[in-house]
Amino acid sequence: MSSFFLCNPSNRQRRSNMSQYNHTWVTEFLLLGLSDDPQTHLLFIVLFLGFYLGTVLGSLLLIYLVLSDSQLHTPMYFFLCNLSLADLGISTSIVPQALVHMLTKKNVISFKGCAAQIFFSIVSGATQCLVLAVMCYDRYLAVCDPMHYSLIMTGRVCGQLALGCWVCGIVSSSVDTIFTVCLPYQGDNKIDHFFCDAPILLTLASGDTHKAEIAIFFMGVVILLVPVSLVLVSYGFIIVTVIRMKTTSGRLKIFSTCGSHLLVVILFYGTLIISYMTSKSSREQIKRVAIFYGVINPMLNPIIYSLRNKDVMRAFRNAINRRES
């Protein structure tokens, strides 16, 4: 993590003593938040706290059920645990800090704190993008090539795929964070957002942001658009396979299994593409999208996968029965 702070304010200050700059280097940022209206402010506090508690409880419960029930020890639920961890990561990197700022009304965050928030939020978000794509590939193999599914999706392969998702998330976040925090920041320190977000922070940079923008856009293509393409191709094959099926029960079973995943994919990828891959998004639109993918969506994932999944509900009832007996 220390590599992300090689360009911290103290180092930049020492370099500035040898330069011609007369401006003050930014050592902290002021987050403008979501609203100045007291009633709206209170509403956001209640909503953020409720959604965060729901995310933590729902994700931990889902992970517990998968670990404790042997019938859920399958590739799909293994990746679902990784998705839940990513949900916890992205929510924890954003919501607690936002709640502290809203409760204390002190919206100041240090330069290092801002860099850390950018890093961890992108790690979790990028990992979630890749895990969703891997889960789609898993469903493709289960539906389109069931005879070889168990031979391909072995425990070792699943572990390697999950590890690859997290490593790629860390690499992507490292690139975005380094290119962002190593830019010079002088003068204006007001971030029109409720957390530190790399594209928003770039607008405050005093130097040329062209290289940083290219790097962030390239990482966005690799981490976002490539998985989306894989999802579209995989579900294309799945739909064709389902159409060719002769039994209605088989179709319903596949739609029940894949429906939850497809809904999560649409919600998550859709909001991220709107936020990061479109240049005409307004600040208010970016804030609303950020609330959805950073606060609301992490809580929805455990609910969607649980309520629409008979295996998870069965494991939940069994867990309750074990506690009562």
What is the mean pLDDT of the segment spanning 246-262? 70
pLDDT at res. 152: 93
Confidence at 249, pLDDT banded by 50, 70, 90: low
Confidence at 307, pLDDT banded by 50, 70, 90: low
Using alpha carbons, list the distances in angstroms from residue 131 to 61, 109, 160, 297: 19, 31, 12, 15
Q: Which residue has the higher pLDDT, 242 or 100?
A: 100
Confidence at 118, pLDDT banded by 50, 70, 90: very high
pLDDT at res. 10: 45
What is the mean pLDDT of the segment spanning 142-162? 92
pLDDT at res. 270: 76
Q: Which residue has the higher pLDDT, 260 or 148?
A: 148
149-176: b or e for each residue (b if 16 or more CB lie within 10 Å)? eeeebeeeebeebbeebbebbeebbbbb
108 vs 290: CA distance, rounded Å = 19
pLDDT at res. 46: 94
Q: Which residues pair with 29 in a beta bridge?
A: 109
184: nearest Cα among 32, 20, 13, 29: 13
Q: Mind listing the pLDDT tens digit for each residue in 38-56?
A: 888 899 999 999 999 999 9
Confidence at 33, pLDDT banded by 50, 70, 90: confident
- Residue 114 CA, chain-centre distance (Å), reads 17
62: nearest Cα among 254, 324, 264, 315: 315
Q: Which amino acid is at 167?
A: V
pLDDT at res. 115: 94
Confidence at 256, pLDDT banded by 50, 70, 90: low
Q: Mind listing the pLDDT tens digit for each residue in 235-247?
A: 888 888 888 877 7
3-state class (DSSP) for residue 145 = coil
Confidence at 79, pLDDT banded by 50, 70, 90: very high
Angle between helices 248-276 and 226-244 (to 10 degrees): 160
139 vs 146: CA distance, rounded Å = 10
> What percent of the chain has pLDDT above 90?
38
Alpha carbons within 13 angstroms on the beta-carbon side of residue 180 total 28
- Indicate the range of 61-65, 80-84, 232-236, 304-308 predicted with least confidence: 304-308
**Are 274 and 292 spatial neighbours (Cβ–Cβ below 8 Å)?**
no
> How much is the pTM?
0.85
Alpha carbons within 13 angstroms on the beta-carbon side of residue 162 total 19
121: nearest Cα among 57, 181, 173, 55: 173
What is the mean pLDDT of the segment spanning 6-16? 43
pLDDT at res. 159: 96
122 vs 199: CA distance, rounded Å = 12
What is the mean pLDDT of the segment spanning 206-223? 87
pLDDT at res. 95: 95
260 vs 303: CA distance, rounded Å = 10
**E strand or H helix that includes residue 114:** helix 111-144
Query: Is the backbone of residue 265 left (phi > 0), alpha (psi -120 to 50) or beta?
Result: alpha
For the chain, helix (H) and strand (E) counts, in that order, are 13, 3
pLDDT at res. 267: 77
What is the mean pLDDT of the segment spanning 63-72? 90
**Are 250 and 143 spatial neighbours (Cβ–Cβ below 8 Å)?**
no
Q: Mind listing the pLDDT tens digit for each residue in 257-293?
A: 677 777 777 777 777 776 665 555 567 777 888 888 8
Quote the tokens at residue 164.
């690859």
- Decide: residue 323, CB within 10 A, 0-12 exposed, 13-18 middle, 19+ buried: exposed
